[in-house]
Amino acid sequence: MKRVLVLGAGLVVRPLLDELFARGDTDVTVAALNIDRARELVSGQPRGQALELDVADAPRLRSAVEASNLVVSLLPADQHPRVAEVCLEFRVPLVTSSYISDAMRALDKKARQVGVLLLNETGLDPGIDHMLAADVIHRVRQEGGDIQTFASYCGGLPAPQDNDNPWGYKLSWSPRGVLVSARSNVRYLAAGDVVQHPHPYVPGAGRSLEVPKIGTLEVYPTRDSLKYQKPYRLEHLDEMYRGTLRYPGWTATLRSLLALNLLDIEAESVAGKTYASFLGERLGDSSTGTRLRERLAGHLGLAPEDPVLHRLDWLGLLSEQPLPEAPTAPLDLVATLFQQKLQYQPGQSDMVVMEHHFTASRADGSLRRILKRMVVISPFGDRSAMARTVGTPAGLAANLILDGRLSLAGVRVPVDPTIYLPILQGLKERGFEIEEEEEELT
């Protein structure tokens, strides 16, 4: 009997567990701080058990890892290196769905030396995006051609029928994570030149995308697109752009939060204040109500009826809701409002949209455009579109390791055919529809 340790009990865990419990030869322990949630996830599963565990408790973590044949961590990304170090100590492979951090990357040499696979970025984005990209890139090269341009777009959004708030967004993961990402530096390649910005919402950095049956979506650049040139073997390109998808209006609204310094992460005293008075102080004016809205419009250079102002007001930034007594970062004040106002309601559905756009050459020098598209819509909950597209590929990756089908070691992402081909096939078998379109250019 194989033994798997799953760390974390969040919204994307259920589809991963579906894959593991379907095996019939595997005991699964779900370890989390929230023991009640862990018990809920293994309820009714004779080979499932729950464990209360804080990964900062080194002796308990070591004991749990030592007793396992595989660890799957769906914890926050900053906790993965600690887990990975214990996995290397006991020579236990690890699967995560998070971006590879510098601390994780530093473990590559040791992982190769001891022959242990630390497989990261096996979720949606990062994850399925890598697999679809590698599939096209490898196929084009096998046919004697190469890639000239590559753009990847992905987003988790409310399904069109449930897009019913002014922000065009609802939470399928941490509100703090959504806002912290708005502070990230971005880097991409356009017309052969490297472009860098201090955040994703600089004018001119975004794009527009028309998706069949969905409509027009906004695109803003996602972190460092160029770091994937090496693993994709795309050193000579005219364009390399990875972007996040949102409904129209998101970019302008997040730009306003940045302009108001409402995404600062340093805690400050807010006791005795309301959201309105806190915002007024940042504008140098203690006014509230209509006067505050007018001052806000002037500060941002917007017309009084601009939709951005409506979104900020609807969220509660101009409200008399009291602020915490303890010092709090402005970003966390906004995250609190996100948590309160941007939730899915019972019966609503979320949606994941992913598109890859390639310009590819052939052996004879002719060019073509290749488009890969995946749209997933599901009722929100433990098997939401976001949960399925993150948890399912991670579960399929775990199964490959448990079945002894991967002979790789080191810190890896799923761009090797031995990883991505069976996972893409598994997604197809589970009803994930991935379209491909091709258009001749010359």
CATH number (domain holding residue 24): 3.40.50.720
How far is Cα 64 from Cα 82, in angstroms, rounded to an integer?
Answer: 14
Same domain, 55 and 25: yes
**Average pLDDT value for residue range 37-49:** 95
Tell me, yes or no, whether 422 lies in a domain: no
pLDDT band at 371 (very low <50, low <70, confident <90, very high): very high
How far is Cα 277 from Cα 292, in angstroms, rounded to an integer?
Answer: 9
Same domain, 137 and 100: no
Among 186, 309, 159, CA closest to 249: 309
pLDDT band at 77 (very low <50, low <70, confident <90, very high): confident
Same domain, 85 and 221: no
CATH number (domain holding residue 368): 3.30.360.10
Among 393, 434, 425, 431, CA closest to 121: 393
Tell me, yes or no, whether 420 lies in a domain: no
pLDDT band at 81 (very low <50, low <70, confident <90, very high): very high
Same domain, 45 and 18: yes
Structure tokens at 18: 């579906």
Same domain, 351 and 232: yes
Q: How far apart are the first and last CA of the chain?
A: 56
Last residue of a domain, one of 67, 91, 120: 120
CA distances from 437 to 48, 358, 369, 440 (A): 42, 11, 8, 10
Q: State the chain's mean pLDDT as an integer.
A: 94
Tell me, yes or no, whether 374 lies in a domain: yes
Tell me, yes or no, whether 410 lies in a domain: no
User: Which residue segment(s) compose the domain that 151 sits in?
Assistant: 128-253+345-385+434-440
Q: Please provide residue 423's backbone torsions phi and psi, each rounded to the nearest 5 degrees.
A: -70, -45
**pLDDT tens-digit profile of 271-298?**
999 999 999 988 887 666 678 898 999 9
Same domain, 144 and 236: yes
Same domain, 247 and 286: no
Indicate if the alpha-carbon torsion angle 421, 425, 430, 432 is positive or negative. positive
Listing DSSP states for 162-219 in one string gives G--STT----SS-HHHHHHHTT--EEEEETTEEEEESSTTSTTS-EEEEETTTEEEEE
Same domain, 161 and 191: yes
Tell me, yes or no, whether 293 lies in a domain: yes
The secondary structure of the chain in percent helix, strand, coil, rounded to multiples of 5, reads: 35, 25, 35
**pLDDT tens-digit profile of 300-323?**
999 989 999 999 999 999 999 999
CA distances from 7 to 34, 49, 81, 128, 248 (A): 11, 12, 13, 21, 36
Contact 67, 75 (CB under 8 A): no
Split into its structural domains, the chain has a count of: 3
Tell me, yes or no, whether 212 lies in a domain: yes
**pLDDT tens-digit profile of 25-34?**
999 999 999 9
Can you give the pLDDT at residue 288? 61
Same domain, 150 and 286: no
**pLDDT tens-digit profile of 238-278?**
999 999 999 999 999 999 999 999 999 999 999 999 999 99
Same domain, 50 and 165: no
**Average pLDDT value for residue range 405-421:** 95
Tokens 């196929």 found at = 139
Tell me, yes or no, whether 401 lies in a domain: no
pLDDT band at 16 (very low <50, low <70, confident <90, very high): very high
Q: What is this structure's pTM?
A: 0.92
Torsion of CA 15, 16, 18, 21, to 10 degrees: -170
Last residue of a domain, one of 67, 100, 120: 120
The Cβ-side half-sphere exposure at 244, using a 13 Å CA radius, reads 21
Can you give the pLDDT at residue 173? 76
**Average pLDDT value for residue range 323-334:** 96
CA distances from 202 to 85, 189, 198, 282, 379 (A): 38, 15, 8, 21, 34
Last residue of a domain, one of 91, 120, 149: 120
Same domain, 240 and 366: yes
Structure tokens at 128: 């399925």
Same domain, 31 and 114: yes
Tell me, yes or no, whether 428 lies in a domain: no
